Structure 1
Amino acid sequence: MAFRILATLVLVASALAAPAPSNETSTLEKRIDHFGDATFFEVGLGNCGVVSKDSDKIVAIPKELYDRNNGGNCFQWVKITDQRNGNVHFGQTFDSCPGCGDGLDLSPSLFQEFADLGVGRFPIKWNFEPFGFVPPN
């Protein structure tokens, strides 16, 4: 009898500890590393509905990813690592990029934190930071 009670308690405890099913329609990424190229673009009105300047530190994420997440990555910070030398900088998602593959389009000022605009493109690793993240100064 004591075994049945213990077994029942274990089943109840495991059911309570199981994660609840999510009704969320988008699958926002958390610590997935992406590899591609960084390029730059002249910013303006982005898909997230914000008008930006070239001096803002913003990124355009791949259009396919933007669409898959229903724009849910808008305003999320991205950590960008230059694969040539390990330099790291952050940009905020304000737009999408139809031709970026797995890379990112960076505002000119953000691109220049890594390289001169004449470089045109360079290899990067990048990932989304959690919502609420504020990059270091």
Structure 2
Amino acid sequence: MTRRARYRCAVCDRPLKSGRGRPCIGDCGARLCRTPRLPHCTDVHASQCPNYKPEEPPVPTDADCISSAYGVVVAAIRDDIDGVMAAFNDLTPEETTALATASVLGLAIVIRNNFEASSIDDLVAAVQACAAEDAAEAA
């Protein structure tokens, strides 16, 4: 009488039930159990499998960036004023708000990292003066 082969999970070494487990998605031939415990054996095996390679997100091109808020930043870095204006025209109000917020915060970080504290006070005073002038002109 020959003995029937027993299949075991490639990760946790538990005996596999009648379906002989779930096959590896990397097609390495490993069989994995379907136990509900966390982390799942399929997830653990994915990092161990020599055949499994997760898909990497595509790197955006300039054409992809132009259709988003990042297009404004790319155009500004390249000193392309027409590109900046065209990209702003294509943004939704939410993207415009997010870009304005990120731009102001980014500019503040650059200023704080590259100027002395006394210079920062001078810059703040200059910005406040510009705001006062604009308010006076608007009135």
TM-score of the alignment, normalized to the shorter chain, above 0.5: no
Shorter chain as denominator, the TM-score bin is under 0.3
TM-score, normalised via structure 2 length: 0.20
The structure richer in helix per residue is 2
TM-score relative to the length of structure 1: 0.20
Which structure has more RCO (C-alpha within 8 Å, separation ≥ 6)? Answer: 1
